[in-house]
Structure 1
Amino acid sequence: MSSSNQAHGTATQQIDALRAEIVHHEHLYYVMDQPTLTDAQYDKLVNRLKALEAEHPELVTPDSPTQRVGGKVKDGFAKVAHSRPMLSLDNAYNEEELRAWAVRVRGALHSSDVLEFVCEYKLDGLSLALHYGAASHGSAHLQRGVTRGDGTVGEDVTGNVRTIRTVPLSVNAEKLKKAGLPQTFEVRGEVVMPKAAFARMNAEREAAGQSPAANPRNAAAGTIRTVEPSIVAQRRLDYYAYFLLRDGEFLLPTQSETLDALAAAGFLTNPHARTAKTIEEVLAFIAEGETKRDALGYEIDGIVIKVNSVAQQRRLGFTGKAPRWAIAYKFPARGAVTKLLNVLFQVGRTGKLTPVAALDPVGIGGITVARATLHNPDEIARLGVRIGDYVAVERGGDVIPKITEVVEDTEHPRGTREIVFPTLCPKCKEPVVREDGEIDFRCVNASCPARLSEELLHYASRGVMNIEGLGEAMVAQLLGHPLNDPVSLADVEAQDAPMSLDVRDAEMLEESNDTTADEPTRTALVHTVADLYRLTADDLLKLERVGPKTAESLIAQIDRSRSAPLYRVLLGLGIRHVGERTAQDLADTFGSLDAIMTATEEELVRAEGIGPIVAKTIVDYFSIEKNRALVEALRAQGLQFTAEKRVVGTALAGLTFVLTGTLPTLTRDEAKARIEAAGGKVAGTVSRKTSHVVAGEEAGSKLDKARDLGVSVLDEQGLLDLLK
């Protein structure tokens, strides 16, 4: 053997050994919660592996621990049909409803059948399917991660799923044998954000001037659909597995055996699952779970009860939307009655006035609730609530404080003070308007200091220009006045999912709606976001509690943001209805900010993902002289105003493709991107309108359906020939 071959062999052995060691310690840390290495020792192993893979790039494999975080998802998420519908569960809200379900189950089975249940915590997250396929040395590697979607078709979020440490990138032959699993299988489970990670994320959001996420479930859902896997990696998510399938059918005879096999294969399963032979045992488990829920590191909102036998599950079957063999027992909402002391108004980035209820502090589920959002005038009218009323408050989703109704009896007299929206902005005293067809009142003064502070915080936030160090305290100093709003409710119209006010301990609030304070004002250093780029370290050193290191760091962060891509600049402008996906679609379609600025509504609606309302908002925004001046000021500061324009060919124009199975050289995303770049469309299901089905190894039911319908079937080479 030559010396180079010997070196290559040694490198392969070293890399394999390092990967196995790292995977072992990841399992101990993330799944078993029994770490044996310090963070520094773990990092040393990973850095050694990275160095070896850099020296031998030909040895890098997709399931290497170094490959968890990939590049940004450029074209959204491909649609993927599920092998078996991911159905929701029917709910039971009390013992009577649960017993009635058990009677129906018993009645649908043979009298001689032994009936057993499996009880599992109902994790408050989002469902996710993981597909594993055959790899070298008898192992299985992660091929695809798919969201629940509408239950029939989900979204391919594989790049983001790979960053979740409790998702094995591969399962070796030894573990497969121990678990009794084939090399090709599907795992279904729940993605959750632990409470500690949720608290950390919200602290970061607030430091960046963003509104806190409503609850861990919304945070997990928003995270898994972000287009940047690096952000997903920063936010700790966990994946709890509970189903095993192959070709859409359950693999093992019972649910309890399924949970054991998943654990043996290295997946994280909920350790509190338990079998029960009677409904009394089920009820005891429910009572126990309700007492333990606050001490858990994650949110649960009930208990899932499943018939253990898969054979019995088949006999019981399904209703139109849920299995008859499983039910979710929902814990009662945690609430209390307290007094509404006042209503205060928060001015958001777009001028929207949000009413915030100031409550007599009350404990709910171990948390002191002193404030709750009232959303908008329509919600206030629906509730019929007045200041001084006693109101029922619940933590919706066990996190969001919300007023559900007014309580009126001899102990709780009605309040007398109507809630009236101000006619003048509480911050700038300019008129407030409510346009026809709009729910919200808005301050229309573009120079409103409250709007500017929110604009700066939005601009600097991590999901936009990512300027670390530009939080509320710094913005207040740059504007020359304190940010003294009683509640920080950042406008969330451009977010992918709505956010609500999180729970906060707070001092008793004044009875007056006047939220201004007699504070000394200073000369503002910033009047628009463009002024950030004119700041110097000397400017910052004049501010309170700002030293040389802080000043230099912030100036460096601001300067770094000049290189942010066009879609982030668009986000930074704060155009209503333009969120991350819309900004990316605009950048990809038009290729420059100038082209977007001059586009007509008709031209805008022809872009992917742009509807008439969004198109009108964009045109209206750029019709305002102040906004055009801001764009020119940013241009002068050297920000990125161009992007690589997505060019769509015509070779496959008018053709619809369905992808199934594993192709020899192209990933599903790559094949989809090439089809769409040539003008074709990719669908998730086969129909008579399908032009071609592109089938690879282990193609499933889609291939069968294509043959039944007489639809053209291509292999990868056939697709490549069409693309030529």
Structure 2
Amino acid sequence: MATASSIEQQIEALREQLRHHEYLYYVLDAPEISDAEYDVLMNRLKKLEGEHPEMLTPDSPTQRVGGKPREGFAKMAHSRPMLSLDNAYNEEELRAWDQRVRSGLPASEKVRYVCELKLDGLSMALQYGAAAKAAAQLERGLTRGDGSIGEDVTSNVRTIRSIPLSVAAKKLETAGLPQSFEVRGEVVLPQAAFLKMNEERVAAGLAPAVNPRNAAAGTIRTLEPNIVAQRRLDFYAYFLLRDGDTFLPTHTETLEALKTAGFRVNTHAKTVDSIDQAVKFIADAEPLREKLGYEIDGVVLKVDATAQQRRLGFTGKAPRWAIAYKFPARAAITQLEDVLFQVGRTGKVTPVAALAPVFVGGTTVTRATLHNADEIARLGVKIGDYVNVERGGDVIPKIVEVVDDKQHPRGTKEIVFPAKCPVCETELVRVEGEVDWRCVNSSCPARVREELLHWAARGVMNIEGLGDAMVAQLLGQSAVLEELNAQGADEEEVAPVVPRTALIHSIADLYRLKREQLLSLERVGEKTADALLAQIGRSKEAGLARVLLGLGIRFVGERTAQLLAEHFGSMTALMEASVEDLEAVNEVGPKVAQAIVDFFAIRKNQHLVKELAALGLVMTAEKRVVGTAMAGMTFVLTGTLPTLTRDEAKSMIEAAGGKVSGSVSKKTSFVVAGEEAGSKLEKAEQLGVKVLDEAALLEMLKTQS
């Protein structure tokens, strides 16, 4: 009779065999056994674990698919923000970035770059913790989310077979990794899996997914791990952290450590000694797009040395030591079948081309923007024309030109821009000096819909659960939305009419919603209703800057909203401000100031603000005391300052009322130069701009204080 010890040894031996074969198949693409042989081993392990449940461990290969989350996905803070990358679209921009990197480091230091393919998927953070026998075990998988807080999708991440559920002690030692570490990388859906998934969707009477990236993102957030497992997602690792920080000397060594630990690392990566070599890598990489079996949209360059990365630091949203070179947009020829007219949040009417379906850059395109009436005239396009469609930045489809040759005859039907709003039939207005026609009816159903979606968006009021489908139901548009989805239309392509039976007619109505009203909607249960009401309630505390952003004032983006909130401190003070008062705010010019005054001069907008305040929304912010001695002065920072970082110097200048620019011109008041100042210092000297060192800057700040 087998002893407990011998059974445990059998179980562990089977686990090691299965892990080995998973690594060969899913990471190295070099299987040694057939699927049938793998299944025999798996079934044998399942049988033994079923007979001895006390020996079951979370990192067993049998545990890849577990139960679904009970209440959706919990939110968790990242150990370190998952920032986006700045982009370069041509060689000139790439070389300018190279110069910025070199100017931020001592001239004596050699700079090397690591070139990697930019995978077109979704970012993921995998956190591993200490396990028995000095191994490391997968504890958590987080989506990027807003960069600071992600969603815990561990149950789904466990189904991705190129992600190790555990890393053995021997591998950790060889790779130089601690038991607790974090791996970041990209989840992708291979093209073959994407095509198979769409075949199944079409066979089931569902609309096909738009592209592999969106399909991967949707898959990783489904509440059914079994579905995730069937989709065959893949994971490529490219970053390694310990306690929220990098710890190996170079990025090259990081990639090698990840490989050694058993993670899949993209083989198309190279460490180069110059920007010229990086340019060659990019030129060689672009033709690979059609051969790889997964989507890429560019090449990422990273400074190799970790110490140099730390010295270069970060801007507010991206590392200075990395950049994404985006490949040129891909294009295809198709026929323009019709033109629809979309009404946006501000009343802007945008012509949208309805196209014969065409595959461009991994996506089936059926719609493209025509921007405005002037663009239609410039293109000379007619319905029935064949057009060249391009995905700008591989994302937004647009018509580049009309194709006119023997194989592609011209169309004959003129595109007539409407004189009235296609939704509410209000006469359209075109402001002198602008290209856009607008519906000026603030109660236009199309505008209400777009206002609600903008208000609820991430980065604005962040009301999770108030997406397209929910807004459609609240506005009584569900039937129309289903029809549009069946036609493959995107939510922004057409603006359906809001019936009189709508539960809400304005942003303020959101905060009057009752539980019983939500429960009366289709597919809305108690948990969904309670969760949405909780999200709406929490949004009341978002603060003045978010409310300003949510109101959708023209030209007021996230930074301007924050500056206005910090300057005025309350909605009341802002609404009473004159154009001159507003122009006194750093970075607010005449155009923005006038737009703000015009917005609050409209009675409907005044009434909305009063309603929101009465409903309990926070309309105040902590005022930031800004000096005036440097008002009107523009500074440019260059080189490495002795004691201040650039961000610290920038904050101090702005607090004194000054403005910091990235380039030197005749309008520059002062250039603040540190060590290795570079070309900006040279240009300042050529233009006769006064140059300060750190001591002179601090003395100036002290004087104004």
Same structural fold, with TM-score higher than 0.5 when normalized by the shorter chain: yes
SS at the partner of 1:249? coil
Summarize the Cα distance change of 1:611–1:335 in structure 2 as closer, same or farther, 3 Å threshold.
farther
Query: Which residue of the partner structure matches residue 372 of structure 1?
Result: 366
CA shift at 1:182, angstroms?
Answer: 0.9
Q: Does 1:402 align with 2:400?
A: no
SS at the partner of 2:214? helix
- Aligned partners of 1:323, 1:250: CA distance in 2, in Å? 13
* 1:108-187 alignment, distance < 5 Å: 108-187=104-183
The higher-RCO structure (CA 8 Å, 6+ apart) is 1
Summarize the Cα distance change of 1:397–1:201 in structure 2 as closer, same or farther, 3 Å threshold.
farther
Summarize the Cα distance change of 1:107–1:490 in structure 2 as closer, same or farther, 3 Å threshold.
closer
Q: Does 1:94 align with 2:90?
A: yes
Summarize the Cα distance change of 1:491–1:140 in structure 2 as closer, same or farther, 3 Å threshold.
same
CA shift at 1:34, angstroms?
Answer: 0.5
Scaled by the length of structure 1, what TM-score is found?
0.56
Query: Which residue of the partner structure matches residue 596 of structure 1?
Result: 519
Summarize the Cα distance change of 1:417–1:490 in structure 2 as closer, same or farther, 3 Å threshold.
closer
CA shift at 1:266, angstroms?
Answer: 0.2
- Aligned partners of 2:182, 2:120: CA distance in 1, in Å? 21
- Aligned partners of 1:148, 1:343: CA distance in 2, in Å? 36
CA shift at 1:236, angstroms?
Answer: 1.0
- Aligned partners of 1:199, 1:305: CA distance in 2, in Å? 30
**Gaps spanning 5+ residues in structure 2: where?**
342-350, 424-440, 448-482, 495-501, 505-512, 537-705
Query: Which residue of the partner structure matches residue 324 of structure 1?
Result: 320
AA matched with 2:183: V
CA shift at 1:83, angstroms?
Answer: 1.1
SS at the partner of 1:239? strand
| 2:382–2:415 CA contact under 8 A, matched in 1 | yes
- Aligned partners of 1:277, 1:598: CA distance in 2, in Å? 61
Quote the RMSD (CA, aligned, Å): 4.3
Query: Which residue of the partner structure matches residue 238 of structure 1?
Result: 234
Scaled by the length of structure 2, what TM-score is found?
0.57
Summarize the Cα distance change of 1:41–1:499 in structure 2 as closer, same or farther, 3 Å threshold.
farther
| 2:388–2:403 CA contact under 8 A, matched in 1 | no
Deviations 1:35-77 (A, max 9, x none): 1111111111111111111000111100001111111112111
| 1:408–1:414 CA contact under 8 A, matched in 2 | no
| 1:157–1:225 CA contact under 8 A, matched in 2 | yes
AA matched with 1:68: R
Summarize the Cα distance change of 1:81–1:37 in structure 2 as closer, same or farther, 3 Å threshold.
same
| 1:342–1:359 CA contact under 8 A, matched in 2 | yes
- Aligned partners of 1:256, 1:183: CA distance in 2, in Å? 21
AA matched with 1:266: G
Query: Which residue of the partner structure matches residue 66 of structure 1?
Result: 62
- Aligned partners of 2:153, 2:318: CA distance in 1, in Å? 25
Query: Which residue of the partner structure matches residue 487 of structure 2?
Result: 489
Query: Which residue of the partner structure matches residue 530 of structure 2?
Result: 607
**Gaps spanning 5+ residues in structure 1: where?**
346-354, 424-433, 441-484, 501-574, 578-585, 614-724
SS at the partner of 1:181? coil
- Aligned partners of 2:517, 2:311: CA distance in 1, in Å? 62
- Aligned partners of 2:64, 2:493: CA distance in 1, in Å? 28
Summarize the Cα distance change of 1:278–1:576 in structure 2 as closer, same or farther, 3 Å threshold.
farther
Query: Which residue of the partner structure matches residue 224 of structure 1?
Result: 220
Summarize the Cα distance change of 1:396–1:204 in structure 2 as closer, same or farther, 3 Å threshold.
farther
Give the fraction of aligned pairs with identical amino acids, expressed as a percent: 58
- Aligned partners of 1:39, 1:419: CA distance in 2, in Å? 59
Summarize the Cα distance change of 1:391–1:64 in structure 2 as closer, same or farther, 3 Å threshold.
same
Query: Which residue of the partner structure matches residue 211 of structure 1?
Result: 207
CA shift at 1:386, angstroms?
Answer: 4.1
Q: Does 1:53 align with 2:46?
A: no
CA shift at 1:268, angstroms?
Answer: 0.2
Query: Which residue of the partner structure matches residue 551 of structure 1?
Result: none
AA matched with 2:28: M
Deviations 1:619-660 (A, max 9, x none): xxxxxxxxxxxxxxxxxxxxxxxxxxxxxxxxxxxxxxxxxx
CA shift at 1:392, angstroms?
Answer: 3.7
CA shift at 1:404, angstroms?
Answer: 3.6
Deviations 1:654-688 (A, max 9, x none): xxxxxxxxxxxxxxxxxxxxxxxxxxxxxxxxxxx
- Aligned partners of 1:598, 1:488: CA distance in 2, in Å? 20
| 1:211–1:499 CA contact under 8 A, matched in 2 | no
Summarize the Cα distance change of 1:13–1:312 in structure 2 as closer, same or farther, 3 Å threshold.
same
AA matched with 1:416: E
CA shift at 1:412, angstroms?
Answer: 7.9
Moved more, 25-34 or 69-78: 69-78
| 1:23–1:65 CA contact under 8 A, matched in 2 | yes
- Aligned partners of 1:169, 1:184: CA distance in 2, in Å? 13
Query: Which residue of the partner structure matches residue 348 of structure 1?
Result: none
| 1:149–1:155 CA contact under 8 A, matched in 2 | yes
AA matched with 2:254: T
Aligned match for 1:192, one of 188, 191, 211: 188
Summarize the Cα distance change of 1:21–1:360 in structure 2 as closer, same or farther, 3 Å threshold.
closer
Summarize the Cα distance change of 1:88–1:366 in structure 2 as closer, same or farther, 3 Å threshold.
closer
Q: Does 1:416 align with 2:411?
A: no
Deviations 1:117-151 (A, max 9, x none): 00000001111111111111111000111111111
Summarize the Cα distance change of 1:402–1:132 in structure 2 as closer, same or farther, 3 Å threshold.
same
Query: Which residue of the partner structure matches residue 31 of structure 2?
Result: 35
